[in-house]
Amino acid sequence: MYFAVIRLKYAIFICIMIFVCLIGFGIAGKTIPTFKVSDKEIPIYSVKRDDNKVALTFDCAWGYEDMPYILDTLDKYNAKATFFVLGDWVNNNPDVLSEIYQRGHEIGTHSMSHTDYTTLSSDEIMADIIKCEDTVSNVIDDRPILVRAPSGAYNNNVIKTCEDNGRIYIQWSVDGLDYPDTATEESIYSRVTQSTKSGDIILLHNGTKYTSRILPKILDTLTRNYEFVKVSDLIYKDNFKIDVQGRQIQTK
């Protein structure tokens, strides 16, 4: 009887181990989505790079008066940027969008009317993105593929919807916090210059009180060590993975 129990326990153990191995092989054989870490879809926050490239991005949702100063400053420091624009903003400022594009900068979508994408279905998200893209392409005859959700609010559905439809969702790793009422020129400058490192994506906004005024000082400091490129020139297009912090890493 004793030996029968031992044999039964041993048989159960062997069965369990075989089952675990089969599961392991099954998982290993699956293709993991590019932007998925465990069960969470992760967008690109930054890029692991061996050079000195960084990306400066502006979310454009209100105002336009400061844009000439922003564009002139970027020209002065030979810096390229990516502007994530609201469709409604484009409708109100088509000439400004044309000027941004003509100066060699990149355009991404930031929704049509700043709707929270986490409350929408996949079809609703894509309808909004396409409407914003159409609005942009009617002005500059170019179609964006980069997306940043309003307020940077995303969930698995938002990221997967973008990925499945050939769009690239871009977040940020350095936030200048230039929009709150508590922002000052010095706080914006300190946050950006003290935090930025190679491969970072920096977030600023137009239409704020201090951004255009402090931008020359920011670029004067950072261009000593970094090259400012468009997001599409910072990220990898293939052979990459994304870690739990949203850092894009090129794979061999």
Catalytic-labelled residue, pool 59, 66, 128, 200: 59
User: From the CA atom positions of the chain, what is the Rg in Å?
Assistant: 23
Euclidean distance between CA atoms 143 and 165, whole angstroms: 14
The mean pLDDT value of the chain amounts to: 88
**Burial class of 133 by CB neighbour count within 10 A (0 to 12, 13 to 18, 19+):** buried
Query: Burial letters for 147-171: b for 16+ Cβ neighbours within 10 Å, e otherwise?
Result: bbbbebebeeebbbbbbeeebbbbb
Residue 55 pLDDT > 50, yes or no? Answer: yes
Please identify which of the residues 66, 110, 178, 205 carries the catalytic annotation: 205
116 is a catalytic site residue:
no
The per-residue pLDDT for 25 is 33
Specify whether the CB–CB gap between 54 and 27 falls below 8 A: no
What is the pLDDT at residue 93?
97
Instruction: Using the predicted structure, report yes or no on whether residue 15 has a pLDDT greater than 70.
Output: no
110 assigned to active site: no
CATH architecture of 36-250: Alpha-Beta Barrel (3.20)
* Residue 2: pLDDT over 50: no
**Two tokens at 243?**
């870690």
Of the candidates 227, 165, 217, 172, which has an alpha carbon nearest to the alpha carbon of residue 193? 217
The residue extents of the domains of the chain are 1-30, 36-250
For 68-77, what is each residue's pLDDT tens digit? 999 999 999 9
- The residue type of 205 is H
Measured CA to CA, the distance from residue 47 to residue 168 in angstroms comes to: 14
210 half-sphere exposure, CB direction, 13 A CA radius: 17
Question: Cα(84)–Cα(229) distance, rounded to whole angstroms?
Answer: 15
Helices (H), the chain: 2-28, 67-76, 87-92, 94-102, 122-140, 156-164, 185-195, 211-222, 231-234
